[in-house]
Amino acid sequence: MLDIQYIREHADQLKTAAANKQLNPEVIDTVLTIDEQRRDLIKTVEDLRRQSNELQRGIKGRRPTEEEIAQGKELKTQLKAVEPQLKEIEEQFTMAMLAVPNPASDDTPIGKDEEGNVVVRTEGHKPTYDFQPKTHDELMTEMGGLDTERAVKIAGSRAYFLRGDMMLLEQALLQFALKLMVSHGFTPHAVPVMVKEQAFINTGYGPWGMDDIYRNQDGEGLIGTAEVPLTAYYQDEVLREDDLPIKMVGMSPCFRREVGSYGKDTQGVFRVHTFNKVEQVVYTVADETVTREWHEKMLGFSEELLQKLGLHYQVLLMCTGDMGAGQRRKFDIETWFPGQDRFRETHSDSYFNDFQARRLNIRYQAKDGTIKHVYTLNNTVAATPRLLAAVVENYQQADGSIVVPEVLREFMGKEKIESQS
């Protein structure tokens, strides 16, 4: 959510920013129209209350005249008529404000879709093979580590079983990612995976992405990322500047309906409804320069993980049309999949300034005594089985076995995964 004064003063720029994100710029006009009605009603209510208070003070200690009694009744009647109108317009105002997107940073490339993303750099080297590399689903299925046929029969589309060493390799990746973030001073969290609808809205997933959330009969939703509960952790609290930055890392199962992805990535375990993820979330002071430093630093943690795994990848600066409504600046990392002969997205790194914190009412007392909203960031450390698929494809051998990356061997207890079918 943006500050209403900022919206009033930057309406034209915000309309352009919304259009650049492929969102409806008319939401700005809607907010300003409702805001004007709201301010008029607030003034009317305040004037009526002031008149009522003045009347009460004027008759204090004596019997009111008939005229004063009639005047008091008229003021109460007017207030009774106007106050419900103000309550209704306040609700409309809140909903309209939630539909205003966060403008992208000045250095975000303008583009309609993924074609407008910019490759910032490429790291590592493509692995070479003296055989034709297979895709992860071929390898994992052949060795008995993946079973989608039985999973789909039991659970429906995009379901999967990981078996034996493949399940253990996935857990090794998650444990390695968690250990890496703890070494960088992040506090580990196990998070609730079912949260209230307001938590999605307050972290910026609503009103735009609510169709992608699985819900129960009570209206609660299954999280698509630990970002939601972690970012909301200090909701309605006032921190101190000395508390910042707050560095949290969560490991959780994640659930996404994958609305709009019909027909995409139906093979293997690249785009699935349920997966596991290690996610980093940071609160910083209300300073975009400091936030951008953290944005780069958090990207660096994910790159460190990929480098330790020996994977080839590229970093992309995302364009306006390929980023979320709440994100101000966003990097993606795409890792090389030799079996598919292409880079695929494995990580996403974003910052929001106070967009999420205003919705969540997370503030801090600055050293000068003022109260400000924190700035928030989040980034993927490891999302599996997508990252698992990258490891499997890159470490495949001619005989169909998979070499375990050196940094994962302490978690796996072995150097190679052989067929288990």
128 in a structural domain: yes
- 240 is an active site residue: no
Q: Which residue has the higher pLDDT, 241 or 205?
A: 241
What does the alpha-carbon distance between residue 320 and residue 114 come to, in Å, rounded to a whole number?
A: 9
107 in a structural domain: no
Of the candidates 315, 307, 309, which has an alpha carbon nearest to the alpha carbon of residue 332? 315
What does the alpha-carbon distance between residue 230 and residue 409 come to, in Å, rounded to a whole number?
A: 30
Selected catalytic residue, list 158, 256, 292, 329: 256
In this structure, what DSSP letter does residue 334 have?
A: E
296 and 267 co-located in one domain:
yes
Average pLDDT of the segment spanning 225-234:
97
Supply the pLDDT for residue 267.
74
31 in a structural domain: yes
- Rg (C-alpha) for the chain, rounded Å, is 27
Beta partners for residue 363, in sequence order = 238, 373
Q: Which of 42, 66, 98 is the last residue of a domain?
A: 98
- Tell me which residue range forms the domain holding 258: 114-417
How many structural domains comprise the chain?
2
108 in a structural domain: no
Selected catalytic residue, list 105, 252, 348, 350: 348
Catalogue the E-assigned strands of 306-341: 313-317, 329-337
47 and 150 co-located in one domain:
no
Residue-wise pLDDT for 56-93, tens only, equals 888 887 888 888 889 989 999 999 999 999 999 999 99
Q: Which of 65, 98, 131 is the last residue of a domain?
A: 98
Supply the pLDDT for residue 63.
87
Torsion of CA 257, 335, 332, 201, to 10 degrees: 20
CATH number at residue 71: 1.10.287.40
- 348 is an active site residue: yes
230 and 314 co-located in one domain:
yes
- 256 is an active site residue: yes
Residue-wise pLDDT for 283-293, tens only, equals 999 999 999 99
- 386 is an active site residue: yes
315 and 396 co-located in one domain:
yes
Of the candidates 318, 290, 315, 293, which has an alpha carbon nearest to the alpha carbon of residue 304? 315
Beta partners for residue 281, in sequence order = 248, 378
Supply the pLDDT for residue 10.
97
Do residues 373 and 244 make contact, with C-beta atoms less than 8 angstroms apart? no
Selected catalytic residue, list 197, 241, 345, 419: 345
Do residues 281 and 231 make contact, with C-beta atoms less than 8 angstroms apart? yes
Selected catalytic residue, list 227, 303, 386, 393: 386
Supply the pLDDT for residue 421.
54
Do residues 108 and 329 make contact, with C-beta atoms less than 8 angstroms apart? yes
Query: Residue 310 — left, alpha, or beta (φ > 0 → left; ψ -120 to 50 → alpha)?
Result: left
Q: Which residue has the tokens 């500050």?
A: 3
Selected catalytic residue, list 8, 163, 271, 344: 271
% of the chain beyond a pLDDT of 90: 87
Q: Which residue has the higher pLDDT, 265 or 299?
A: 299
What does the alpha-carbon distance between residue 343 and residue 114 come to, in Å, rounded to a whole number?
A: 13
Average pLDDT of the segment spanning 120-149:
94
CATH number at residue 289: 3.30.930.10
Supply the pLDDT for residue 261.
61
Strands 221-222, 342-353: pairing is: unpaired
Do residues 34 and 93 make contact, with C-beta atoms less than 8 angstroms apart? yes
Residue-wise pLDDT for 294-332, tens only, equals 999 999 999 999 999 999 999 999 999 999 999 999 999
389 and 312 co-located in one domain:
yes
